[in-house]
Structure 1
């Protein structure tokens, strides 16, 4: 890889392939389906982890996974319209859930 004269992080596309990754999956109609995530800017990305421990730390012990090479993960994402792969993301947000309205105690009428 070329030396980075500005001491900045290289672009994601400039990094070497990550090798076999632990890729989160979910059940699908024909077996496992890779999960698609969003970057902080809202763009779709495939996600892979360099170790099972990192996947568990980020997504929890119940997350199913498969092993895929980084180029294979990109190839799976391409027909969906993106080729970005994020390796070892550290932060995730839970999916939105319906919120039950809370009724303040003073609003309840007795009797």
Structure 2
């Protein structure tokens, strides 16, 4: 996708890691999935003797598991990044609760 965006001089959004280096003029931003955070945390907890069997563990903004790429400031206007940072802070603080289940999502949409 990124190569096609580069060939056609269009925007692309990277995923999982900062993909700006692949096409600096065409990657608008990247959605980061910081798998290392989950691996380090789970490994540490298991080594400390914690039993995590049968549990679902989430790694969102508050845990450092996801985010947007630092290179976003190359193409995304500062005003948009500022608003994004405000919303991220509200999610981390719990002022905005991201739904996980379908029922939570339905309630979230209805409340809007």
Please report the TM-score for the alignment, with normalisation by the length of structure 1.
0.22
Higher normalized strand content (fraction of residues): 1
Bigger relative CO (Cα 8 Å, ≥ 6 apart): 1
Please report the TM-score for the alignment, with normalisation by the length of structure 2.
0.22
Higher normalized helix content (fraction of residues): 2
